[in-house]
């Protein structure tokens, strides 16, 4: 995949405002700069810390945007929202059916200096296939080895390839909107972490044994499509899957909670604080 460099003009515009961490490292986004975080629950990181707002988005004050802002002293506008798809970047909605939330792209303007975008997995229920549909089929058909895979293969009108292609187009369009609305910003697209084990199964991810390969294909496909969308839109993709290998749901040191999340540290099937700290370091490396 082609990696796009930071535009030199952005570095020049913010160099006088750059922040330093405790080790004296300088960042391109710093004090007085505006940082907008866009994304779904893997950005919002529900239950990893104190809640940020009561709008139903379940953002955490310990998510990676807050961690990055704490180091850089940037002015953070975190509009990430649990359950968001690319549609919620342009349309208002009511997460949880209660409070009306503005489109996430409304937070952008030509004064925005840094944007992180973590979106795509909720389009067409893609991650829901892994976390909801496949476990439900495993319960309904306990003697079947791969009921979810079998159901997917029996539905030619909703092939995984086609769904991922459509999701890639959606993300590409929204990223182009981001660069139009925030023309002076450094835009980083954040990939999804390693969620599914490369081998084996576990009770914390209750799929039928033969459906784990499908789950891996979906998660890998989401990341591949999001990376391709970033490339098409001319912005940088941050790979978080490679560095989080060995910390999947079924690992001995999980960074993603299983169905029985450690109380007070994460929502089920969502990132633990360790994963958010890792992603924050990836972002800081990208703007350092």
Confidence of residue 14 (pLDDT cuts 50, 70, 90): very low
Q: Do 96 and 84 form a contact (C-beta atoms < 8 A)?
A: no
Q: In the CATH hierarchy, which fold is given to the domain comprising 27-121+160-199+223-287?
A: Rossmann fold (3.40.50)
Predicted confidence (pLDDT) at residue 2 exceeds the cutoff of 60: no
Catalytic residue among 28, 41, 60, 251: 41
Mean pLDDT value of segment 6-12: 28
Is 270 in the active site?
yes
Catalytic residue among 28, 247, 270, 280: 270
Say what percent of the chain tops pLDDT 70.
Answer: 92
70: Cβ contacts below 8 Å, ≥ 6 apart = none
Q: Is the overall model pTM greater than 0.85, yes or no?
A: yes
Mean pLDDT value of segment 246-265: 94
Q: Do 119 and 40 form a contact (C-beta atoms < 8 A)?
A: yes
Q: How far apart are CA 237 and CA 167, in angstroms?
A: 16
Is 99 in the active site?
no
Q: Do 216 and 263 form a contact (C-beta atoms < 8 A)?
A: no
Three-state secondary structure readout of 66-122: HHHHHHHCCEEEECCCCCCCHHHHCCCECHHHCCCECCHHHHCCCCEEEEEEECCCC
Token representation of residue 163: 């769904």
Q: With DSSP H G I counted as helix, E B as strand and the rest as coil, what are the percentages for the chain, rounded to 5?
A: 45, 15, 45
Mean pLDDT value of segment 16-45: 83
Helix (H, G, I), strand (E, B) or coil at 253: coil
Q: What is the pLDDT of residue 21?
A: 67
Q: How far apart are CA 288 and CA 286, in angstroms?
A: 6
Q: What is the pLDDT of residue 212?
A: 98
Query: pLDDT digit string (tens) for 183-221?
Result: 999 999 999 999 999 999 999 999 999 999 999 999 999
């Amino acid at each position: 995949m082609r990696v796009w460099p930071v535009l030199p003009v952005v570095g020049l515009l913010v160099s006088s405002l750059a922040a330093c961490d405790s080790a004296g490292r300088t960042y391109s986004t710093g004090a007085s700069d505006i940082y907008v975080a866009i994304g779904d629950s893997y950005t919002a990181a529900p239950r990893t810390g104190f809640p940020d707002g009561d709008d139903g988005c379940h953002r955490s004050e310990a998510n990676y945007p807050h961690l990055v802002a704490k180091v850089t002293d940037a002015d953070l506008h975190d509009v990430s929202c649990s359950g968001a798809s690319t549609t919620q970047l342009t349309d208002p909605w009511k997460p949880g059916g209660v409070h009306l939330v503005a489109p996430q792209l409304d937070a952008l303007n030509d004064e925005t200096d840094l944007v992180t975008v973590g979106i795509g997995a909720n389009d067409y229920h893609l991650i829901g296939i892994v976390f909801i549909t496949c476990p439900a089929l495993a319960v309904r058909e306990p003697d079947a080895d791969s009921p979810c895979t079998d159901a997917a293969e029996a539905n030619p009108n909703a092939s995984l390839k086609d769904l991922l292609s459509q999701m890639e187009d959606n993300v590409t369009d929204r990223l182009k909107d981001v660069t139009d609305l925030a023309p002076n910003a450094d835009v980083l697209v954040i990939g999804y972490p390693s969620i599914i084990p490369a081998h084996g199964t576990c009770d914390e991810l209750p799929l039928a044994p033969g459906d784990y390969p499908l789950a891996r294909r979906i998660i890998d496909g989401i990341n591949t499509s999001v990376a391709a969308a970033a490339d098409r839109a001319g912005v940088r993709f941050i790979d978080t899957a490679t560095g989080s290998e060995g910390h999947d749901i079924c690992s001995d040191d999980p960074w993603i909670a299983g169905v029985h999340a450690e109380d007070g540290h994460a929502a089920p099937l969502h990132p633990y604080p360790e994963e958010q700290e890792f992603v924050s370091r990836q972002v800081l490396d990208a703007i350092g």
